[in-house]
Structure 1
Amino acid sequence: MQVKDAMSTTVLSIGPAHTLRKAAALMSARRVGAAVVVDPDAEGHGILTERDIMDSLAAGLDPDVERVGAHLTKDLVFAIPTWTLQEAAAAMVRGGFRHLIVVEGGEVVGVLSVRDVVRVWTKSTGRIPAELT
């Protein structure tokens, strides 16, 4: 199976000037754990995850004041649609993250989460590949 078989093609995109509260509300409404951060003044994309928001709250920061741009991850590992799910899962394990932005031809075409990988593997095989357990 490939990344394109499991990724979500409906991507939540937000800007770096959104507050963390607004980002959290958008993520909650869409039932997603990550948002792609698009900044026309910066190179490339970033990602804001549930963990980024949780860490800021745990640090006592105000989600109505804090901006996404100060909390996003910029150094990303991007996946391509033709990677195998094993390649994507291995990249997630190596990097210690739960989401990959999927790009093709320089454009964002999806987001792959650990949940997506597990959903597809368990649906198609009833198990997780042994090399990842």
Structure 2
Amino acid sequence: MTVAAILSKKGRDVVTVSADLSISDVVHLLANRRIGAVVVTDPANRIVGIVSERDVVRALARGVGSIDGAVSSIMTAKVVTCTDRDTINEVMARMTEGRFRHLPVVDAGQLAGIVSIGDVVKARIEQVEREADEMRAYIAMA
């Protein structure tokens, strides 16, 4: 199963913000939309960063100057991405290795979606259950 299969079910909508948006506005956006991360993009829809709940907590812990400061001051600038052709196992490995829960999907240099660890785990469980059902059906026919 690939990332494209996940996106075909959940959709390709991604909440994005500009780098000059305030940290306070991003915190409210995360809370109101009940999401764990937003992608920071430039006017050409290219990814310049990502801000997750963890980034906000880390900033607060180190005493960020002001919650009214720009989100660019707390965002993760080196964003790991995937394509919709990547498999679930490849994406799970990337997320585990990098210890992050959100992975933007890129197509031809443009933001094309986002997958969370929850999306990936759900898809993997569905895949395992489908394989188990197929195995039971095969055994029943024997």
Whether the TM-score (by the shorter chain) exceeds 0.5 is yes
Mapped pair 1:60 → 2:60: no
> Is 2:102 the counterpart of 1:99?
yes
1:47 aligns with 2:50: yes
Structure 2 distance, partners of 1:28, 1:92, is: 23
Larger Rg: 2
Please, what is the CA RMSD of the aligned residues? 2.2
The structure 2 residue matched to 1:20, chosen from 16, 23, 30, is 23
Give unpaired runs (5+ residues) of structure 1.
128-133
d(CA) in 2 for partners of 1:110, 1:36: 10
CA contact (8 A) 1:4 1:81 kept: yes
Aligned length: 126
Specify the SS of the correspondent of 1:37.
strand
Q: What is the TM-score with the length of structure 1 in the denominator?
A: 0.83
**Partner amino acid, structure 2, of 1:97:** F
Which stretches of structure 1, 4 residues or longer, exceed 3 Å deviation after superposition? none
CA distance in 1, matches of 2:65, 2:82: 33
Q: TM-score, normalised by structure 2?
A: 0.78
Pick closer, same or farther for the CA change 1:96–1:107 going to 2, 3 Å: same
| Greater per-residue helix proportion | 2
Shift of 1:44: 4.3
**Candidates 81, 84, 88, aligned match of 1:81:** 84
Per the TM alignment, residue 12 of structure 1 is displaced from its structure 2 partner at its CA by 0.5
Q: Which SS does the other structure have where 1:79 is aligned? A: coil
Letter in 2 for 1:122: I
